Structure 1
Amino acid sequence: MSWRFISLPPQDGYHMVTSFVAVADYVSRGGKNTLLVFYSDKPFVNVGVHQEVWLEVNLEFTKKMGIPVVRRDLGGGTVVITPGEHDYFIVVKADEAPSSPKALYEKYLTPVVNVLKSYGINAQLRDQDIVVNGKKISGNGAMTYNKAVVITGNILLSLDVDLISKCIRVPTEKFRDKMAKEMSDWLTSLEKELGYIPPREEINKKLKEEFEKSLGVKFEEANLTPEEIELWDRLAKEKMNEEWIYYKDNRHPELHTERCVKINSAVALCHLDYKARKLVRITVKIVNKKFDEVSISGDFFIMSPKDFLEYLEDSLKGASVSDFEKIIRKVFEEKKPVIFGFTADDLVNAFKEILNKPEVQEVI
């Protein structure tokens, strides 16, 4: 089977997060499976599609430094992308890809693991990440697009922990110092592991060899088609629109809180960070024992269906607080979402925890 291998020059953040959509459109229309590699020309903050920017990003710092905030179409957490990483995008026909996230990551990330092992590094796949002796060296995500499946990821060549920690929103500066230290403890890079950074051309050569060996495919060196480039540029311009960047924030402007407060005898506002397999952030406004508004965000991945989270939020809005479990389970049964990071049970438990908060108990 023949695949395309495309290596591009460095790109800005808006083009970084839209390249794979243009390629997925090409693959969906019967084009060849594609492995695309390139990297960012300057730092940017990359926010997951299900996250609220105000909760994740130190906007005061990023605006001062001119570091763009870019919302991608993929789930996962907020990451600071720098030229110190090597990014890859694997785009395949949906009918060739495993339907379970676990099997999908195993199939298409094993070649990347093998590239790292070829440098004598003890690399292993852990969920959707690749770790070296427990430290993350590669973060990955997946999404469906029409008749294509996209796996995106990176290999950390070098790390700028100071810059990364300053871009992320934290409660205090003391916490930021702690986070920077923790980042050094749970992230690693080829530079840290090897004492040098291998040339990108060498990494690309190894990637091609390992994909060919592992998947039984043959690469042809290729360029993006004119149609892909045209769509790519249009999508990148759309990603620059602040309505898109802050759409999750602006969807719930009244829910910008990280506390639980009783506003009066009938109204409470409550936020909860719930750790399932991934982090789920829930904020609710309860008025007269009903959900007046519900926000669900986090660093999880929803591969299908599109707009599942918005549908779930809207299904809970206006409902009696006593009906939350019935509604959640009905929506999961109806939509049958493919989610990596939390289950219907996790969500039910998180809402139970919120409704058991003293501030909420007083109004329900």
Structure 2
Amino acid sequence: MSWRFISLPPQDGYHMVTSFVSVADYVNRGGKNTLLIFSVKEPFVNVGVHQEVWLEVDLEFTKKMKIPVVRRDLGGGTVVITAGEHDYFIVVRQEDAPRNPTELYRKFLTPVVNVLRSYGLNADLRDQDIVVNGKKISGNGAMTRGNSVVLAGNILLSLDVDLISKCIKVPTEKFRDKMAKDMSEWLTSLEKELGYVPPRDEINRKLKEAFEKELGIKFEDSTLTPEEIELWEKLASEKAKEEWIFYKDNRHPNIHTERCVKISSAVALCHLDYKARKLLRITLKIVNKKIDEISISGDFFVMSPNGFIEYLEDRLKGVSANLEEIREVILDEFNEKKPVIFGFNENDLIDALTEIMRKPEIQEVI
């Protein structure tokens, strides 16, 4: 089977997060599976599609330093993208990709693992990440786009822990110092492991060889088609708009809180961070013993169907603040829509809502 191999020059954040969309459109129209490689021109904060910017990003710092905040179409957590990354998008036809997320990551990330091992590193796949001696050196995420599957990831060449820690929202400066120390302990890079950064051309050559050997494919060096470039430019312009960047924030502008508070005898507002396989961040407003509004955000991945989280939020709106009724709605929607989610399941969501509904501030109004 023949694949395209495309290496692009450094891009800004808006072009980086939209490049795979135009390639997915090409693949959807019968084009070849594609491995797309590039890096970034300047640092930017990359927010997951299911996250609220105000909860994740230190906007005061990023505005001061003129560091763009970019929302991608993929799930996962907030990351700070720098020139110290070697980034890739793997875009394939749906029939060529396992439906099970674990099998998907194993199939398409094994070549990346093998590239790292070729440098003598003790690299292994752990969920959707690649680790070296237990430290993360590659973060990855996947989604479906029409009839194609996209897997996005990177290899960390070098790390700027100080910049990363300053871009992420934290409760106190002391916590920020701890976060920077923790990141140094659980993240690594080729520079840290090897003492130098291999040339990008060398890494590209190794990636091509590893993918061809593992998947039984042949690459042809290629470029984006005029149609892909036209769509890419259009999408990059759209992603630079604040309506998209703050889409999740603006969907729930009246429930921005990180605490629980009883507003009146009939109204309560409450936030909960719940650790499933990934982080679930629930903000809930109860009015007259019903769910008036709910935000479900976090660093999870929803591969399909598109828009499921927003649909579920809308479906829960107006439901009685009764745990059994909430549970029934969630189970019904998961059973009907059959979402493919990496990071939590229906029982995790039920447990999170059970915990938040039992908060004293909520109990007092229901």
Which interval holds the TM-score relative to the shorter structure?
A: over 0.9
- Distance in 1, matches of 2:146 and 2:56, equals 29
What whole-Å deviation, never above 9, does each CA across 1:63-90 have from its counterpart, x for those lacking one?
A: 0000000000000000000000000110
Counterpart amino acid of 1:51?
Answer: Q
**Backbone CA RMSD of aligned residues:** 0.5
Deviation at 1:121? 0.5
Q: For residue 67 of structure 1, what is the aligned residue in structure 2?
A: 67
Deviation at 1:45? 0.2
Q: For residue 81 of structure 1, what is the aligned residue in structure 2?
A: 81
What whole-Å deviation, never above 9, does each CA across 1:134-169 have from its counterpart, x for those lacking one?
A: 110000000111111000000000000000000000
- Distance in 2, matches of 1:236 and 1:143, equals 19
Q: For residue 13 of structure 2, what is the aligned residue in structure 1?
A: 13
Please state whether the residue corresponding to 1:169 is helix, strand or coil.
coil
- Distance in 1, matches of 2:185 and 2:39, equals 24
- Distance in 2, matches of 1:99 and 1:355, equals 34
- Residues 119-158 of structure 1 correspond to what in structure 2 (within 5 A)? 119-158=119-158
Does residue 42 in structure 1 map to residue 42 in structure 2? yes
Does residue 330 in structure 1 map to residue 332 in structure 2? yes
- Distance in 2, matches of 1:147 and 1:253, equals 34
Counterpart amino acid of 2:68?
Answer: P
- Distance in 2, matches of 1:343 and 1:354, equals 17
Give the TM-score of the pair, scaled to structure 2. Answer: 0.99
- Distance in 2, matches of 1:34 and 1:143, equals 15
Alignment counterpart, residue 352 of structure 1, candidates 335, 338, 354:
354
Unmatched 5+ stretches in structure 1: none
Counterpart amino acid of 1:277?
Answer: R
Deviation at 1:221? 0.5
Q: For residue 259 of structure 2, what is the aligned residue in structure 1?
A: 259
Q: For residue 202 of structure 1, what is the aligned residue in structure 2?
A: 202
- Distance in 2, matches of 1:324 and 1:146, equals 31
- Distance in 2, matches of 1:360 and 1:234, equals 45
What whole-Å deviation, never above 9, does each CA across 1:93-118 have from its counterpart, x for those lacking one?
A: 11111010000000000000000000
Q: How many residues end up aligned between the 2 structures?
A: 364
Deviation at 1:334? 1.2
- Distance in 2, matches of 1:325 and 1:289, equals 16
Deviation at 1:308? 0.3
Counterpart amino acid of 2:185?
Answer: D
Counterpart amino acid of 1:344?
Answer: E
Q: For residue 224 of structure 2, what is the aligned residue in structure 1?
A: 224
Q: For residue 238 of structure 1, what is the aligned residue in structure 2?
A: 238
Q: For residue 281 of structure 1, what is the aligned residue in structure 2?
A: 281
Give the TM-score of the pair, scaled to structure 1. Answer: 1.00
| Identity percentage of aligned residues | 78
Deviation at 1:356? 0.8
Deviation at 1:288? 1.1
Please state whether the residue corresponding to 1:36 is helix, strand or coil.
strand
Counterpart amino acid of 2:184?
Answer: S
Unmatched 5+ stretches in structure 2: none
Q: Which moved more, 1:318-327 or 1:70-79?
A: 318-327
